Structure formats: C-alpha cells, structure tokens
Amino acid sequence: MAIPLGLRLGEPLGLRWQDVDLEAGTLRIAYQLQRLHGQWELVEPKTSRNRRTIALLLSTVQALRDHRKRQLEEKLLAGPQWQETGLVFTTRVGTPLDRPNIVRRSFKLILKKAGLPDIRFHDLRHTAASLLLVQGVSPRVVMENLGHSQISLTMDTYSHVMPVLQREAADKLEAILSGNN
C-alpha cells in the first residue's frame, strides 16, 4: 500500500477496517498510529488535509480482501488471545504493529531478499508521488493523495521529476503546433 497510495508509515498502521470501503475502492485516512507516553495510540492526523479519502487500485482492493481473509483466520487461531482493535494491519493476536521493530525490520529484509538498495520506508511515499507526476497526474491530485497542505510543498519536494514533465510538455506542444497530433 505504500507505493500505490504514498502513505506515511503511521497511516496504514492506524488504518481501521471501518475506514476501508472495498466496494467503492476507497479508504479514508482518519487516524495514525503513534507512540505517546510509552503507549501506542490512534491519533487524528495533524491537519484537515491529512484526513483524506484515497481511491484504491484494483490490485490493492484485492490485496486488502486477501489480507482481511488471512486476518480473520489468524483471529480464529488466536482464540481468546486475540485483541480486537479493528485495525487493518496487526500482529497475529490483533495488537498494533510496533513500527520500528516489526515494519521497518521486515521492510529492510524484503529489500535485501529482492536485491534492492537499502532505502527508508518513507522513500516509498516519494516513489508514489514521482510515479504519479511522471504519468501526467495533476499535481493537485498528487497533493491531495499525499495530504500536503499546499501544492508548492508537493512541487518543491518532487521538483526532480520536472525535467521529464517539461520535456513531455514541449513534445506535446510541438506536435500540436506542427500539426502532427
């Protein structure tokens, strides 16, 4: 979900099943999982822009359906040990995933096994935005998907994709003006 949606790590970890609409193919970012005073807590995002609804890829909808089925099987196996949190991503007993110890370590292992360079989890957010911009998605849509407060933040952060977009714009304009469209 990190690449297709460009989520911050706390956002999928705070995602509740009640905020996922698999029929409509959307999810709502209403909470983040954060460690406060030594406890994991669901907290509302800092700004109203960070509380947002995002359209899901069909492959992400299917992955979430498969994940939900696995999670229900884990719940049955855990029996009375299961702690119902309503979270989409949990341990095998329903508790929130401990960010530093589980998610980041697992992510690094996946990268290593795939022979990919060592990157931060947050870099997947940058990948999502860059891919969307290079595909010609409106910067305004990218801004809203990422939950940025201003379009200038989106464009300043992802300015490295601008040369590709500028070349594409010039080529399209050339085609129009030369009558080769």
Check if 52 is active-site. no
Cβ neighbors of 133 (< 8 A, separation 6 or more) are 139, 142, 158, 161, 165
Helices (DSSP H) in 82-138: which residue ranges? 105-114, 123-134
Check if 172 is active-site. no
Check if 31 is active-site. no
What's the token pair of residue 23? 């029929």
| From 46, 67, 99, 126, active-site residue | 46
The answer to whether 117 touches 111, Cβ cutoff 8 Å, is yes
| From 37, 65, 70, 158, active-site residue | 158
Q: Which DSSP string do the residues of 105-120 spell out, in sequence order?
A: HHHHHHHHHHT-----
Check if 37 is active-site. no
Check if 158 is active-site. yes
User: Catalytic positions, please?
Assistant: 8, 46, 125, 148, 158
